[in-house]
A and B are shown apart, each in its own frame.
Chain A
Amino acid sequence: MKFRHFVKTIPMKLYIIVAAVLLFAFFSNDFGLVDIQKTAVILAAGIDRSGEDFRLTAQLAVPKGSDRTTGGTSSVEIKTEGKTVSDCITQIFTDTGWVPKLVFCNLIVLGEEAAKEDTISYLNYFLRNEYMPDSCLLAVCEGTAEKLITSQSAIDDASSLAIAKLFSDAAEKSGYVMPNTLKDFAIGYYGVSKSSYLPYLRTMPQDGAQTPSSGTQPSPQEEEQQKIYTAKHTALFSEGRMTALLSPEETLAFSLLKGKVSAGTFNAEAEGKPVTLTLLEDEGKISLQKDPTKAKLSVSVMVRFCCSGTTAPIEEISSDEVTKETLKSAEEVLKGYLSSMWEKATEGGCDLLGLRKSLYRSSLKKYAEYKNMLPHAVTPQIEVNVASMK
């Protein structure tokens, strides 16, 4: 009886075993193993042009145990050159024996010269790659990407990790950094606006940066001056080519229009003296009028008094309220930033504010009529409303 019952239940048992094997295969994900001795875990990639060829600088995470293990992440930079980016990536394998793994790549930096050519001609490799996260941050840098990636950061072991810190949510809320991802850059490029933007990285020598502890001989790399990075400028792109560069103030204006600022500061004037105001709330709006050659850019912000360069009685210090005169000055300042940003974008042929996209979405007929006139033939009406926290 028992044996018969056992035989009868064999199919069910088999079913469970097979289902378990299937689930195991489905869920195993290669058991999540990354053999660091065989795999080049790429943290960041820098791309430069070298004539017709591409030069790729990959920053790889390496196992600890080398002489560069003072911090949290050890890294090494590999430089390769090839006809395409794919060529360069393959060379990492042929040159080092490490299989390149892009799944952890969170930063792609384009050298300035490379950014002035059609960027999609080399970014398409990353768009095609199924294993590459398209939420990866994208940036342009002053000079070459190689120099930036190989530079010694004063605040982190790996330059890419130090740079990624610049693009945090907190930094974005300050209004002085406009991060962008591979996905959003591609949407801008392939969309009707054919325009996008990327943060523009600069390196600055850090005076007084920590030098290796005494008693050890500094390596040539350590002897190199350590750097800090800024991304306050924003590079504008039209049809995949970098065509203009926004200053930090213009970047703030762009951030305000996008409505992303909630913690930044900017300077205005009170009684002819500079004062700093903190941005608490921001609402930006871009709208095309019925006549698509007219656009309205409006920004409403709430501010509070941050500080002034003058001595003040304690009653004044205890108050966050901003005087009407200062508010007016702030409005003028922001209007100036917005106006300057608009001019730079239109001069660069960059539909930064997505006017073509707005028109396309609202009326195909008008889009067909006006698409070639946007944005350069558009007259902006700029409205700024600065209110004080009560």
Chain B
Amino acid sequence: MKLSRRQIYLFLACVAPIGKLVVLPTELVREAKNDLLLPVAIHFLVQAAVIFCVLLLGRRERGLYEILEGTFGRVFAKICMVTLSLFLLLAGLVPLIEQQLFVQGVFYDTLPSVIAYAPFFVFAAYLASKPLAHMGRVWDILAPLFAVGLLGILLLSVGSADYAALLPIGASGTGFLKSTLSASVWFFDAPLLLLLLGKFEYREGMAWKGALCYLGGGLAVLFFLATFYGIFEETAINQIFAFSKTAKYFSGITVLGRIDYIFVYALALVLAFYTVLPAQCAIDGVVQAFGSPRHLQTILSAGIFLGYFVLSLVFDYSFFALLKFMTKALVYLFPVFATLIPALLLTLGRQP
């Protein structure tokens, strides 16, 4: 089973941006303040360029492991795949715990028990045990959900936003540079795409179309961020779980109730599948490297999500410590794995 080009475009435009709408907006404001659009614009541009390169690699119609093996040999290729998988597992931890806190904080009026969220890990383990190429159909369904969800939220929010709050540009000084670095933790879409190599058929123009789709999704995120800051201004730093917050000031809500939750739930559903994806790609990386012995994928999937479940219990009350560790100590891994390596593969991997 292969992914169609449409499914790749939909993933880039409508699934990849969702991870940037939960905690990232608040974290951006911490350093970049009203310049919060700049770090995100930089990341989207850089990732779009890398995605262009990765999609060009798709011309070879080979999986990542095959490309690496053809260039560096079997052992090094295996090491690379395992390292990349470990990176993806690490990168996937933040969105996973973000989502847990989001569900507990937004969908419940009081802090629910851990059990309320536990079924997600069962669902995620099952999903991750499925071949990555099967995700195309899921993205077909998620893309309209994302589009309707985000559009609905934006429509309900724009009236409450004062976009002049984004002025003056550059007020944060070097704050936006610090923010650009820490925001790297949320931008690892190119390595996800690396694992999809060989699972789709490349056609002329796919690289730039894919990059454009990603930029389209990026524009939607930027517009959302502008609206978010326009609504909360200096207090935006206190507004975690951004996409559930902006629409609640719509005047009709006092009469109709939280109708914005229809759109919030739609986005939450997209988020649920997105948060599984890094682990799913990581498992696929290992399977590519070691073939697919019987039940390897299922065992890996169960083990990984059991581990994630334990970590989610550990970090349930210390998410910000984890975030600090990721954005200060481990952040340097992200430009290497999410930008440098995928971009370099295009130049290094010229093997028949």
Contact = CB atoms under 8 A, between A and B. Distances in A.
Which of B117, B120, B234, B235: most chain A Cβ within 10 A? Answer: B235
Interface in A247-300: none
A7 interface: no
Contacts of B110: 30, 99, 101, 131
Given A25-B120, A130-B105, A191 B265 contact: no
Given A361-B164, A363-B168, A27 B107 contact: yes
A378 B234 CA distance: 25
B107 A15 contact: no
A127 interface: yes
A28 B112 CA distance: 11
Contact of A27 (B164, B170, B238, B265): B265
A301 interface: no
B104 to A, nearest CB: 10
Nearest to A364: B168
Contacts of B164: 361
Given A362-B167, A363-B168, A18 B126 contact: yes
B168 A361 contact: yes
A285 B192 CA distance: 51
B76 interface: no
A214 interface: no
Contact of B168 (A28, A34, A360): A360
Contact of A135 (B165, B234, B238, B249): B249
Contacts of A360: 168, 171
Contacts of A162: none
Interface string A1-32: 00000000001001100110111111111100
Interface stretch (A87-95, A150-158, A182-190, A215-223): A182-190
Contacts of B112: 30
B119 interface: yes
A361 B123 CA distance: 48
Interface residues of B, number: 34
A195 B301 CA distance: 54
A362 B165 CA distance: 11
B108 interface: yes
Given A190-B235, A360-B168, A361-B164, A25 B117 contact: yes
Nearest to B122: A18
A103 interface: yes
Given A15-B126, A361-B164, A364-B171, A131 B235 contact: no
B232 interface: yes
A19 B123 contact: yes
B168 A21 contact: no
Interface string A95-124: 000010101000000000000000000000
Contact of B119 (A18, A29, A183): A18
Contact of A21 (B123, B235, B268, B269): B123
B306 to A, nearest CB: 15
A128 B126 CA distance: 37
B217 to A, nearest CB: 23
A119 to B, nearest CB: 15
Nearest to A183: B235
A186 B139 CA distance: 40
B103 interface: yes
B204 interface: no
A21 B117 CA distance: 10
A241 to B, nearest CB: 18
Interface in B207-237: 232-235
A192 to B, nearest CB: 8
A15 B129 CA distance: 11
A190 to B, nearest CB: 4
Contacts of B103: 25-26
Interface of A: 11, 14-15, 18-19, 21-30, 34, 99, 101, 103, 127-128, 130-131, 133, 135, 169, 183, 186-187, 190-191, 360-364
Given A18-B122, A135-B249, 8 more contacts: A15-B127, A19-B123, A26-B272, A29-B108, A30-B109, A101-B110, A183-B235, A361-B164
7 contacts: A18-B122, A28-B107, A30-B108, A101-B110, A130-B105, A186-B234, A361-B167
Interface of B: 103, 105, 107-110, 112, 116-117, 119-120, 122-123, 126-127, 164-165, 167-168, 170-171, 232-235, 238, 240, 248-249, 251, 265, 268-269, 272
